[in-house]
Amino acid sequence: MFYYLLPFFSFLPLLLLSRFFLVTTPKNHHHQNLPPTPLSFPVIGHFHLIKDPIHRVLQTLSLKYGPVFTLQFGSRPVLVLSSPSAVEECFSQNNVSENRSCLEKNMKHDYTSVIPAPYGPFWRKLRRITTIELFSITRLATHSDVRQDEIRSLIKTLLLEIVHDNFTRVGLRSRVQDMSFNIIMRIVSGKRSFDPEIHDLKEALNFRDMITGISKAPRVPFRTDLLPFLKWIDFQGMKRTLLRLKVKKDASSEDLLDKCWKKDGVSNKQMIDAMLSLQEAQPENYSDQIVKGILLTLLLVGTDSSAWTIEWAMSLLLNHPDVLQRAREEVDEHVGHKHLIEEKDLYKLRYLQNIVNETLRLFPTAPLFVPHESSKDCTIGGYNIPHGMMLLVNTWAIHRDPKVWEEPTSFKPERFERSVGDGYNYIPFGMGKKQCPGAGLANREIGVALGSLIQCFEWERVSKKLVDLSEGKGLTMPKYEPLEAMCKARECMFDVLSKLLDAS
């Protein structure tokens, strides 16, 4: 009898463990006509398929299973959309809300940031504050001189490094990062963070490292969110890393608030002063947590993402010198050689804007939407979608869909000289209610910075080999290899550049 019962007792612990470890099936799992899905393993589901870069993996799967398919990330079913029609059907006809992942819970001031806050009255309040106080046309115009000044500082740092009349090898990543970060810090607090005369460079470096650390977070929810048995384990040290970043973030934002509270008077030129002035008048609407959440939003959407786009654009231009030459001719024709490009010149530089648009098509700032979830049962692409299913939109795949774009992997800015579709073909800043509010700021900064680099300098690759366009890790998809290029000042701009150096 013992030998007959031994297999049963051996199997019983496995059965009990399976109820604890295995995937949690949603209540409505009996739905028929679900989207196709690859074969999965118990417990981990499809995590064995997930590797960097995740957007490329999801695109490969969509080529096999179609633009609407599902995956199982541990305990969570995930719907992946990779076509404009599926995204349109999802967002225009069905109700979806953002999913709260471990990153948001640990990093975003209890959802007081407009990015992770769920849609509803509180989100509408944050969105209104953000739109009026941060990204309105009036507010953007107020800080145009800040952006112009920092872009000129970028030009000066390059001028001081290159050898007169000779091509000099320069690195662009750190310079455009410093420019972008200084713009945001001056808008927020009125002070530059990276300056030769700054007294506390360590403080600035810590603050930028904190922002960069957040931007390098995984693009899909953490395994500890989706595999319950890992919640007691600090998987890959992620929990420790998040806590360290949170401490840095809280200390930095508290320090920024404290310094501004000690200042005499309020100037609307500085964002944080305006926010604290509003806090005095309406304390119920502008708590410290809300102010810090809004400031973090500005820092996140306005620093590395703009710098990466400028770096991608310059990489593409170096690989396509004919496009670079056409852009330079446009700048020479509409701006000339007597002054540097200003924001008011951008509307005349249509081809330059096409270059920015094409860069964002090939290398969108966020290759995947922030995860959402279906809040009710719905139908997408003819498939039944149960409520509670996580949703991932693969922006990168949509921007390279051969059914939508001719020669989708080619860099062809002229494609934007005509209409690109109904709005769902091209979504570099997201869409709908959750569209990135910083698009206007990004377009101004990227346009003037890129135009200034083209106007002031000659550019060549460091060798005959094309610039590597491999993607790195992170929420905002930087280049894998930092960009280096050969640079020299243009003779036709000597007078303007000499005055710029003399002014310093």
Spatial contact of 275 and 294, defined as CB atoms under 8 Å apart: yes
Q: What is the pLDDT of residue 109?
A: 45
Phi, psi (rounded to 5 degrees) for 396: -60, -45
Measured CA distances, 35 to 32, 49, 351, 495 (Å): 9, 18, 41, 63
E strand segments, 84-157: 96-98
For residue 174, the cross-strand partners are: none
SS3 content of the chain, % helix, strand, coil (to 5): 55, 10, 35
Structure tokens at 333: 């024709």
In angstroms, the CA 62 to CA 299 distance is 34
Phi, psi (rounded to 5 degrees) for 458: -90, 140
232-265 as b/e, with b when 16 or more CB fall inside 10 Å?
A: eeeeeebbeebeebbebbeebbeebbeebeeeee
Q: Between helices 201-215 and 304-319, what is the axis angle to 10°?
A: 70
Spatial contact of 296 and 249, defined as CB atoms under 8 Å apart: yes
- Sequence-distant (6+) residues with CB within 8 A of 265 are none
CA angle 402, 407, 408 (to 5 degrees): 55
Low-confidence ranges of the chain (pLDDT < 70): 1-31, 93-120, 122-123, 133-134, 191-272, 297, 300-302, 421-423, 432-434, 504
In angstroms, the CA 6 to CA 143 distance is 76
Task: Write the burial class of residue 85 (CB in 10 Å: 0-12 exposed, 13-18 middle, 19+ buried).
Answer: middle
In angstroms, the CA 498 to CA 197 distance is 22
Q: What is the pLDDT of residue 267?
A: 45
Q: Does the reported pTM lie above 0.85? A: no
Q: What is the pLDDT of residue 303?
A: 74
Determine the distance from the C-alpha atom of residue 419 to the mean position of all C-alpha atoms in its chain, rounded to a whole number: 25
E strand segments, 6-67: none
Antiparallel, parallel or unpaired: β 390-393 and 68-73: unpaired
Q: 53 preceded by cis ω (within 30°)?
A: yes
Q: Domains (ranges, CATH) in the chain?
A: 47-503 (1.10.630.10)
Spatial contact of 281 and 273, defined as CB atoms under 8 Å apart: no
For residue 168, the cross-strand partners are: 487
Spatial contact of 66 and 36, defined as CB atoms under 8 Å apart: yes
In angstroms, the CA 282 to CA 300 distance is 25
In angstroms, the CA 394 to CA 56 distance is 9
- Sequence-distant (6+) residues with CB within 8 A of 400 are 59, 362, 408, 409
In angstroms, the CA 470 to CA 89 distance is 32
Q: What is the pLDDT of residue 100?
A: 46
In angstroms, the CA 350 to CA 356 distance is 10
For residue 45, the cross-strand partners are: 41, 73
> Is residue 90 a known part of a binding site?
no
